[in-house]
């Protein structure tokens, strides 16, 4: 008999978005470059290499977030001790909603996430650093 899921990902995302600031791409772009804001890109390195990245964004793979935030962790990253606003984004806005809620629960404040993620950011004209093409690519 298949296992029954009592709470699906859509509900988890909806609940997360009730607790954190949700920015559309244009609002996020307006905060880009501010000294008191850190953009945190949660996408996998393969996504960055394939689609590009936001210049200056801190790359934190989603699977490492909790370990990089926690000062008690041997993997802690000092960027998360900064007295700044943390704006999370991923490819489409699902991982970033969950990550922002988790970060807030761990004590980061303020936090926000970009709905629509990197795709919406790029479509709205946000700055993007494109990956270099490999030899042989056209």
On whether the pTM is more than 0.85, the answer is yes
Residues 6+ positions from 49 with CB-CB distance below 8 Å: 131
My answer on whether omega of the bond before 110 falls inside 30° of 0, hence cis, is: yes
What pLDDT, on the 0 to 100 scale, is given for residue 132? Answer: 80
Distance, in Å, from the CA atom of 133 to the CA atom of 138, rounded to the nearest integer, reads 8
Beta bridge partners of 40: 58, 88
Domain ranges of the chain: 14-123
Distance, in Å, from the CA atom of 4 to the CA atom of 103, rounded to the nearest integer, reads 28
Reading the chain (138 residues) residue by residue, the pLDDT tens digits are: 678 889 999 999 999 999 999 999 999 999 999 999 999 999 999 999 999 999 999 999 999 999 999 999 999 999 999 999 999 999 999 999 999 999 999 999 999 999 999 999 999 999 999 988 655 555
Q: Give the Å distances, CA to CA, from 132 to 14, 33, 46, 50, 121.
A: 36, 23, 13, 9, 20
Residues 6+ positions from 125 with CB-CB distance below 8 Å: 29
Distance, in Å, from the CA atom of 49 to the CA atom of 131, rounded to the nearest integer, reads 6
What pLDDT, on the 0 to 100 scale, is given for residue 137? Answer: 53
Distance, in Å, from the CA atom of 138 to the CA atom of 98, rounded to the nearest integer, reads 37
Highest CATH level, class, for 14-123: alpha beta
Chain centre distance of CA 101: 11
List the structure tokens of 88. 């999370």
């Amino acid at each position: 008999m298949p296992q029954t899921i009592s709470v699906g990902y859509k509900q988890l995302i909806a609940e997360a978005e009730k607790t954190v600031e949700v920015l559309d791409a244009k609002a996020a772009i307006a905060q880009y470059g501010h000294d008191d804001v850190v953009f945190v890109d949660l996408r996998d390195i393969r996504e960055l290499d394939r689609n590009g990245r936001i210049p200056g964004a801190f790359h934190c793979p989603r699977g490492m977030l909790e370990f990089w935030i926690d000062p008690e962790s041997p993997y802690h990253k000092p960027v998360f001790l900064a007295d700044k606003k943390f704006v999370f984004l991923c490819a489409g806005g699902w991982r970033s909603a969950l990550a922002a809620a988790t970060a807030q629960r761990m004590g980061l404040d303020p936090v926000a996430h970009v709905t629509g993620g990197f795709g919406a950011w790029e479509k709205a004209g946000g700055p993007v650093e494109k990956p270099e093409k490999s030899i042989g690519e056209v």
